[in-house]
Structures are given as C-alpha cells and as structure tokens.
Structure 1
Amino acid sequence: MEMSLVFFSQLNMCESNEKTFCKLMHGSGKEETSIEAKIRSKEKRNRLSLLLQRPDFHGETHTSRAALLAKETRVSQEEAVKWAESFDKLLSHKDGLDAFTRFLKTEFSEENIEFWIACEDFKKCTEPQQIIIKAKAIYEKFIQNDAPKEVNLDFHTKEVITKNITQPTLQSFDAAQSRVYQLMEQDSYTRFLKSEIYLCLLEGRPQRPTNLRRRSRSFTYNDFQDVKSDVAIWL
C-alpha cells in the first residue's frame, strides 16, 4: 500500500510539472508573438513616416523650395514696416504679396493665396463667356472635392458654389474668398511677421538659408492614393 501511495504521488508530481511546463511554453510563445507584432508595427510606422518626408510626396523638391526662399526682393524698410500694420496693406503691395506668397510656399499652403489672387482676377471679368470659363477653372482647381489645390472651406459654402457654378456671377466666390482671407489673416499672417523672410526685409539684411517646415494637416484616405503601391509592400 505504501508503495502504491508513493507511486501515485510521484505520478501527480510529474503531471503537475508537465502542466506547469506547458503553461510556461504557451505563455512564452504568446509573449514572443506579441513582441514580434509590436516590432513589425513599429517598422511599418517608421517606413510610412519616411515616405511622408520624401520631397516628391508633395510634388516639389526641397531644392525648388529653397530656391524660392533665396530670391531677393528689393523693398525699402519703410515699406516693409507698413506691412505689419494690417494684412490688407501687405496684400495691396506687389512686393508684400510676393514675400507672403514665398512664405506660404515654405509652409506648403500656397493654395490659399493663389485662390485669393484668382478670385481678385475673376472679379475683373467683363464678358459673360469669360466669367463662365474662369469660374469653372477656379472651381475645378480650388473648390471641388479632391481639387489639386483644394482650399479649406466649410460644407455650406462649398455646396452653394457647387449648385451655382453652371450659372456663375462675379459674386460667386465672394464668401469663399472672404473665408480664406480670414484664415490667412488670423493664422499665416501672424507667423509671416515673425518669419525669416519678413525680418530680413524689415532689417535690410540678406536672408539666410531657412529650414523648410511642413504645415500641419490631417491626411485623409485620398492623400495616400498615389503612394498606395509603396505602402502595400509593407503590409
């Protein structure tokens, strides 16, 4: 009887050890799988980040952007001082408009000033046919969904323009132009006054090479259509 009891005791110990060993093995496997998944996920994010930093992702090279910054603008310091008085004074001066445009290009948001300029030109139209042609061109370039240089407009403003684009008037883009003007005045204009481009003009000194900064924006699915083939190889 004692031998039998000893035998079963040893069997139970072996069984217990075996279960413990199996748990350790399974637990270790899950842990390794989890670590490997985290590493792969991190590698994907790093590769996607590198892709977004490629100059050709934004359609222009860093070299071309830097060339814009190196452009010299001859303007008196007195005139440059006036640009800080109001956003309207800045845009009403040819050199001021040029300097502000170059600044927006460093932030990759030049579509705003280009749209504003296009609207100013549009309001000078006199022929009915010319109004239709230019209105359609502005709509396709700046307003419609996925436009090549789509500006940031609220849904209601875009909807009104879309409904009336077939019969445009000289006032068709007034609301949109006003919206974009306010965005530039409240946001980009304040940064421009602190930028290297403006300070160099204000102080009458040559501009030093400026580090290009990418504007902050939320990417959507459509932003990644052109890079889908590149991203697919990592998934």
Structure 2
Amino acid sequence: METSLVFFPQLNMCESKEKTFFKLVHGSGKEETSKEAKIRAKEKRNRLSLLLQKPEFHEETHTGRSGHLAKETRVSPEEAMKWGESFDKLLSHRDGLEAFTRFLKTEFSEENIEFWIACEDFKKSKEPQQIILKAKEIYEKFIQNDAPQEVNLDFHTKEVITKSVTQPSLHSFDAAQSRVYQLMEQDSYTRFLKSDIYLDLIEGRPQRPTNLRRRSRSFTCNEFQDVKSDVAIWL
C-alpha cells in the first residue's frame, strides 16, 4: 500500500508572510529609531557648538564658580562677629547684608530686606522724573494690595503712601521703611544670629545647605505689640 504525501504549501506561505511582515515592521522601526537618534545627536552637536562659540559662556561659568567660592571665604570670623553687635552693623557691611538676605530667603521673607534696599536707593534719587518713576515701581512691587512682593504694613501707613505716590518726595516711604526695619531687627535678626548661616561664618566653617521654611506674614501684627503702628485704626 502506497502512502500518499500531502503538502500544504499555504502553510509555508503564511510562515513566509509572517516572517516578512515581522522583518518589515521591526526593520523599519530600527531604521526610524536610528534616524531619530542621528537627528537628536546632530541637534546636540549644534547646540554645543553654539555655546562654545560664545565667549561669554566661558566667562559666566568661570565667574560664577569663582564668585561662589569668594562668598564662602572672603568673610573672616572676626568680621562676622561684629555683625552680632547691632543690626545697623550687619546692614552697613556688604557681606553682612548679603548673608542676612540669604537667611531671609530660607524663610521666604526676602521682600522685607529688598524693600529696605529699594528705599535706600530711592532716597538717593535727584531728578524729579526719577523720583516719580522709582516711587511708582516701589509702590507697585511692595506696597499695593496683592503686590508681587508685598510687605506687611498697617492700613494707615499704606493709605498715606497711596495718597502721596502720585506726587512723591524723597521721604514718601520713610514710615514704611522704618516699620519694616523694626520688624526685621526684632524678629528676623535675632533668628539670624542663631542660624547655621551666621554660626558657620563666625566659626569659619564652610557653608552648609539650608532648609527652607515658610513663615506666615501674619506674625507682624501679633508678635510685635511694642512696635509703634496704627493697627488700631482698622481693627
């Protein structure tokens, strides 16, 4: 009895088609991936070449690093000790002002010292037009309601400034500046003297990373009853 052999050529055809399809799919994927990789590599090379062609890129990198090192080493412990004698001595020294500003940033209250600095700069204005422009900038940045860096002032002080800002004088912000100065001296300054930033300086230790913590600005009216203000007017 003869045995019949039956062939199913369609099976081989299916297998061949599947293999062909598999190769086409994965082959094209690799090809596209390779093209995308080449494009990305080319873009990176172009960006790098542009940076290297700019001389200020090297200057800023070098200056930034050396400036950071200078901030850590240029203050002697003896000089830093003097800042603990009074708040005035701290603010009158450039490095002291810088260290105190760095401390306020850890508490998210740097608007106070920035307002004080802006007022000091404002009082040096000479031209009438310059006085008007700077007064408007200070008012919009620190005084008006919902200002981007609004300082915590009592209602009466803010009202006086609001009325005078259209025709400002060099003394328009004196009351507000004095108020903010007192708040910093009696609150922030005492904490600064106990902070790692200051203790590292007087001990001659390298600066350490500082923790950021949010303080509510409502403390200014509750914790400083001895600071003269007109809060009672609007309570």
Could you say whether these structures have the same fold, taking a TM-score greater than 0.5 normalized by the shorter chain as the test?
yes
Which structure has the larger Rg over C-alpha atoms? 2
Query: Residue in 1 aligned with 2:161?
Result: 161
Helix, strand or coil: the match of 2:72?
coil
1:125-172 CA-to-partner distances (Å, cap 9, x unmatched) read: 000000000000000000000000000000000000001110000000
1:91-112 CA-to-partner distances (Å, cap 9, x unmatched) read: 0000000000000000000000
Query: Residue in 2 aligned with 1:135?
Result: 135
Query: Residue in 1 aligned with 2:121?
Result: 121
The question of whether the paired residues in 1 share the 8 Å contact of 2:107 and 2:215 is answered with yes
Judging changes above 3 Å, is the alpha-carbon distance between structure 1 residues 99 and 146 closer, same or farther for their aligned structure 2 residues?
Answer: same
Whole-angstrom CA distance in 1 between matches of 2:217 and 2:87: 24
The question of whether the paired residues in 2 share the 8 Å contact of 1:101 and 1:113 is answered with yes
Helix, strand or coil: the match of 1:185?
helix
State the shift of 1:188 in Å. 0.2
Identity across aligned pairs (percent)?
A: 88
1:36-51, aligned counterparts within 5 Å?
none
Judging changes above 3 Å, is the alpha-carbon distance between structure 1 residues 127 and 178 closer, same or farther for their aligned structure 2 residues?
Answer: same
The question of whether the paired residues in 1 share the 8 Å contact of 2:99 and 2:198 is answered with yes
1:22-61, aligned counterparts within 5 Å?
none
Query: Residue in 1 aligned with 2:50?
Result: none
Query: Residue in 1 aligned with 2:72?
Result: 72
State the shift of 1:78 in Å. 1.1
- Displaced runs of 4 or more, over 3 A: none
The question of whether the paired residues in 2 share the 8 Å contact of 1:73 and 1:95 is answered with no
State the shift of 1:195 in Å. 0.4
State the shift of 1:212 in Å. 1.8
Give, as a single letter, the amino acid of the residue that structure 1 aligns with 2:149. Answer: K
Give, as a single letter, the amino acid of the residue that structure 2 aligns with 1:209. Answer: P
**What is the total number of aligned residue pairs between the two structures?**
149
Query: Residue in 2 aligned with 1:109?
Result: 109
1:72-127 CA-to-partner distances (Å, cap 9, x unmatched) read: 25201111011000000000000000000000000000000000000000000000
Whole-angstrom CA distance in 1 between matches of 2:98 and 2:217: 24
Query: Residue in 1 aligned with 2:95?
Result: 95
For structure 1, list consecutive stretches of 5 or more residues without a partner in the other structure.
Answer: 1-67, 219-235
- Note the aligned Cα RMSD (angstroms): 1.3
For structure 2, list consecutive stretches of 5 or more residues without a partner in the other structure.
Answer: 1-67, 219-235
- The answer as to 2:157 corresponding to 1:194 is no
Whole-angstrom CA distance in 2 between matches of 1:73 and 1:152: 35
Query: Residue in 2 aligned with 1:203?
Result: 203
Give, as a single letter, the amino acid of the residue that structure 1 aligns with 2:105. Answer: K
Whole-angstrom CA distance in 2 between matches of 1:158 and 1:211: 32
- Structure 1 length as normaliser, TM-score? 0.62
- Structure 2 length as normaliser, TM-score? 0.62
State the shift of 1:208 in Å. 2.2
Query: Residue in 2 aligned with 1:57?
Result: none
